[in-house]
A and B are shown apart, each in its own frame.
Chain A
Amino acid sequence: MGIFSPGFTGRRRGGDVELPPGQYLETGFPVLSAGPTQYVDKRNWKLSLTTESGDTRSWDWQGMLDLGPEEIRTDLHCVTAWSKLGTTWRGVPFERFLEGVDTSADYFMAGCYGGYTTNLPLQEILGRSWIAFEFEGKDLEPNHGGPARLLVPHLYLWKSAKWVNSITLMQQDAPGFWEQNGYNMHGDPWREERYW
């Protein structure tokens, strides 16, 4: 701080709600993607998981559902400074995909239909991340990442990869798409980890 803007008071749409630093309250659901929307049919959808030793397993749509989805209520924070509170999702807890997987990886790379990637810390997200396929009681729309996206709401939303189709476990961290293009390796909104 140190530069004040005379006459600027702000709208403070957050009211009494505590938002991460630099965020403002949004009631819509903006769409941000680096390229065209991907249109993926559930019938062809597949998610694969590859460990650091190269072992691979995969799930089709029904196989994913069989892992046991749950309802999620969470706030969302986008690096472009909007936050949306109290959203409702349905998805499968991420750790269910790891049951019986032999790994000592600390990180993973999420890969997507269309080629998008993002890197994430494995232990940190367990218990608070999902493969999500419903938003507000309806099938997740393609422009928001449907049929299924990663949902890691405690990090900025670019980490919640749309159209996710692969999980690659890694011993060491490596940058994904936005992380190579100016954005933070970790992306914690409460620490305002937006950019390089």
Chain B
Amino acid sequence: MTSTPPPPRPSTWVPATVVDAWMEAPGSRTLLLEVPDMAPTLAGQHLDIRLTAPDGYTAQRSYSLSSPAGADRVQVTVDRMPDGEVSPYLVDGLEVGDQVEVKGPIGRWFLWQPEQTEPVQLIAGGSGVVPLMSMVRTRAAAGSSAPLRMLYSVRTPGGRFYTEELAGLTAADPAFDLQYVYTRKVPEGWPHQAGRLTGALLMEFAIPAADRPTVYVCGPTAFVETVADALVQQGHEPARIRTERFGPSG
């Protein structure tokens, strides 16, 4: 893994303006940001967002982008963390027209790019769906027909993000299959009981290891650990499993 050093790319704080915002689910808000001075984004990257108090105190956190690669206006979806410092302000305080500072886009590993033609398995736990949605949107915009499956574990039907858009995308695209797993409460008439995503469910719904998919897993640490361990046990090559773990930040 040795090669010439990467070209220096100064990443500096630049202003971002909130041009729209809406609640995606209870406690989770999507911000649409205009960032004129930022390089084009890739699917799966994140931004750092920095807030500054009137006395100069600053706090920053990382947020995955949900907007498609290269979007003129970028999107993040933020969960309000109960004991959080930055997220309560982004969810409850920030108003359309306000500015924050952002740095990015950051990250070149947890990426999906349209030139990838292999089958892709996305596995989301809760708000871990955010960077995976960027991949789904990028794929739709590029007209890619590579097989895509998404397993989306969420507590309740009301906690889902991007529900209507995902329904539309799966209806329009025979190569895109979406399966929800509800951990607390299932919709009326749902054929499965509420419960966590298990190895057995992965076996049933995920693209089999024999098809050599690239697998992207994003969610809380315990979720990612469980899923990644099960995938390895089921024969998926560790090098084909890309993970992003959400630690307790806020």
Contacts and interface: CB of A to CB of B under 8 A. Distances in A.
A35 B242 contact: yes
A82 B5 CA distance: 27
Given A22-B58, A181-B109, A11 B85 contact: yes
Interface string A22-46: 1010101011111111100000000
A109 interface: yes
A180 B239 contact: no
A10 B5 contact: no
Given A5-B53, A82-B247, A180-B1, A35 B85 contact: no
Contacts of B15: 2-3
Contacts of A15: none
A80 B247 contact: yes
A178 interface: yes
Interface stretch (B95-103, B127-135, B151-159, B171-179): B95-103
A103 B6 CA distance: 26
Contacts of B53: 4-5, 8-10
A109 B6 CA distance: 16
Contact of A24 (B5, B59, B93, B110): B59
Nearest to B249: A82
Nearest to A25: B85
Interface in B103-148: 103, 106-110
B242 A34 contact: yes
B89 A7 contact: yes
A9 B98 CA distance: 16
A34 to B, nearest CB: 6
Interface centre among B8, B15, B245 (most CB of A within 10 A): B245
B57 interface: yes
B193 interface: no
A189 interface: no
A5 B93 CA distance: 9
B183 interface: no
Interface string B208-250: 0000000000000100010011011000001101110101110
A3 B100 contact: yes
Contacts of A74: none
A31 B245 contact: yes
A80 B80 CA distance: 18
Contacts of B93: 5, 7-8
A194 B48 CA distance: 11
B225 A182 contact: no
A3 B3 contact: no
Contacts of B108: 180-182
Given A4-B53, A36-B229, A175-B6, A115 B239 contact: yes
B109 A36 contact: no
Nearest to B247: A30
Interface of B: 1-11, 15, 48, 50-54, 56-62, 85, 89, 93-94, 98-101, 103, 106-110, 221, 225, 228-229, 231-232, 238-239, 241-243, 245, 247-249
Given A35-B243, A36-B243, A114-B238, 9 more contacts: A5-B52, A5-B100, A10-B59, A13-B85, A28-B248, A35-B242, A36-B238, A80-B249, A195-B103
25 contacts: A2-B15, A3-B52, A5-B52, A5-B94, A7-B89, A10-B57, A10-B58, A28-B247, A31-B245, A31-B247, A33-B245, A34-B109, A35-B242, A36-B231, A81-B48, A82-B249, A115-B239, A117-B1, A173-B5, A174-B4, A175-B5, A195-B9, A195-B103, A196-B7, A196-B9
